[in-house]
């Protein structure tokens, strides 16, 4: 590996560690990253030139050799933050995430069927005004984003029984024209969730394959995000992982998935098994707002059902399903970090 590539990888590694640990010292970075103290020092100085690093006071000396505690450092959210948006059927959920991966603010704006774009712009404008350090805008959508920027969704059934769907030919281009000074990233919600859960476990495993199922309720929807050897796999037209079922069982469950979690997951089990055998993932994750309030009895039954999978299965039961917005913000943050690291490399080339 040449020195430029080595510097690039070391900078990215240090940023990853700071995101994971939030606060650490250069001595700890030296041990975690297996680098010389002098190497860590000049890499941290490189990041300081872009205001990426801030001092966080004195660190405790536990776990270190006897002596003065090191100066604690962390990533500086005042230098950069990222807007992650989850665009669902009747609302825009907006999350501001710092450079260190911490959530700084969240809000939700409901909209009528024909007010999607208008509401999205309103939410973005409010956050850009409140957080001028936002560097990237990333949007997770409950639908398919084709490679040409076309947004499309399947038919959704509202609680009133009405059928709705999205079909916006120039969705991505319209947003980019509205905000030309920002990079606009738009991605499927299951793909964003897959990136979020993969990144959260990056310190445990890296460059591996994971599969993430997203099951949402009211309106009902199933998505699938694939991380193959550490990279998001979208397929030739951005549709990889889309779930299709020709019989009516899941469609008939569309108004009450939370009340039918066990039979719904049992219905998905064969698909999960085939996917697991085909891709051999280290982990298969099942998540979504359908699992926001799982009873103890349902949890025991779900664990029993999932135990038959040929890989580790992890059920994410979160009161508020924000993984797609988190994943979208991470995509934006990673893009920005790589730009900055590339700028540092140019200074030294």
For the chain, domain boundaries: 3-76, 81-190+323-336, 201-315
pTM assigned to the model: 0.84
Distance from C-alpha of 256 to C-alpha of 253, rounded to nearest angstrom: 6
Averaged over successive runs of 10 residues, the pLDDT of the chain (349 residues) comes to: 77 90 91 91 91 79 51 93 90 92 91 85 96 96 80 64 73 92 92 91 82 83 90 83 63 61 90 94 93 90 95 91 91 91 70
Identical fold, 81-190+323-336 and 201-315: yes
Distance from C-alpha of 114 to C-alpha of 3, rounded to nearest angstrom: 54
Predicted confidence at residue 287, as pLDDT, reads 94
> If phi over 0 gives left and psi between -120 and 50 gives alpha, with beta otherwise, what is residue 207?
left
Q: Which class is domain 3-76? A: mainly alpha
Distance from C-alpha of 137 to C-alpha of 139, rounded to nearest angstrom: 7
Distance from C-alpha of 330 to C-alpha of 85, rounded to nearest angstrom: 11
Distance from C-alpha of 127 to C-alpha of 83, rounded to nearest angstrom: 8
Distance from C-alpha of 199 to C-alpha of 100, rounded to nearest angstrom: 13
Predicted confidence at residue 244, as pLDDT, reads 63
Backbone angles phi, psi at 56, to 5 degrees: -120, 25
Predicted confidence at residue 20, as pLDDT, reads 84
Classified by CATH at the fold level, domain 201-315 comes out as Nucleotidyltransferase; domain 5 (3.30.420)
Predicted confidence at residue 275, as pLDDT, reads 94
Predicted confidence at residue 2, as pLDDT, reads 65
Distance from C-alpha of 239 to C-alpha of 191, rounded to nearest angstrom: 10
Predicted confidence at residue 180, as pLDDT, reads 95
Predicted confidence at residue 252, as pLDDT, reads 58
From the options 3.30.70.120, 3.30.420.40, 3.50.50.60, 3.30.465.10, give the CATH code of 81-190+323-336: 3.30.420.40
């Amino acid at each position: 590996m040449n020195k430029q590539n080595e510097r690039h990888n070391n900078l990215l590694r240090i940023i990853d560690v700071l995101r994971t640990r939030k606060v650490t010292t250069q001595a700890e970075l030296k041990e975690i990253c297996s680098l010389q103290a002098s190497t860590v020092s000049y890499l941290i100085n490189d990041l300081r030139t872009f205001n990426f690093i801030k001092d966080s006071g004195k660190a405790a000396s536990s776990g270190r050799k006897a002596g003065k505690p090191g100066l604690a450092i962390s990533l500086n959210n005042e230098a950069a933050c990222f807007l992650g948006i989850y665009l669902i059927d009747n609302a825009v959920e907006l999350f501001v995430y710092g450079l260190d991966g911490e959530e700084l603010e969240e809000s939700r704006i409901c909209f009528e069927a024909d007010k999607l774009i208008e509401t999205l712009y309103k939410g973005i404008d409010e956050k850009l005004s409140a957080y001028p350090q936002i560097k990237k805008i990333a949007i997770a959508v409950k639908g398919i984003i084709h490679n040409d920027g076309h947004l499309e969704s399947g038919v959704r059934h509202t609680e009133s029984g009405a059928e709705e769907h999205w079909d916006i030919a120039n969705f991505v281009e319209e947003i980019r024209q509205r905000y030309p000074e920002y990079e606009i990233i738009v991605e499927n919600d299951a793909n964003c969730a897959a990136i979020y859960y993969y990144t959260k476990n990056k310190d445990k495993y890296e460059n591996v394959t994971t599969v993430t199922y997203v099951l949402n309720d009211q309106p009902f929807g199933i998505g699938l995000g694939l991380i193959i050897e550490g990279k998001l796999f979208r397929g030739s037209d951005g549709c990889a992982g889309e779930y299709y079922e020709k019989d009516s069982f899941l469609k008939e469950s569309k108004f009450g998935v939370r009340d039918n979690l066990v039979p719904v997951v049992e219905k998905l089990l064969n698909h999960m098994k085939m996917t697991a055998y085909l891709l051999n993932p280290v982990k298969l994750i099942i998540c979504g707002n359908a699992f926001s309030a799982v009873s103890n009895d349902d949890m025991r039954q779900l664990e029993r059902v999932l135990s038959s999978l040929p890989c580790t299965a992890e059920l994410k039961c979160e009161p508020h399903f924000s993984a797609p917005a988190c994943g979208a913000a991470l995509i934006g943050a990673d893009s920005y970090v790589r730009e900055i690291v590339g700028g540092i490399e140019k200074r030294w080339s």
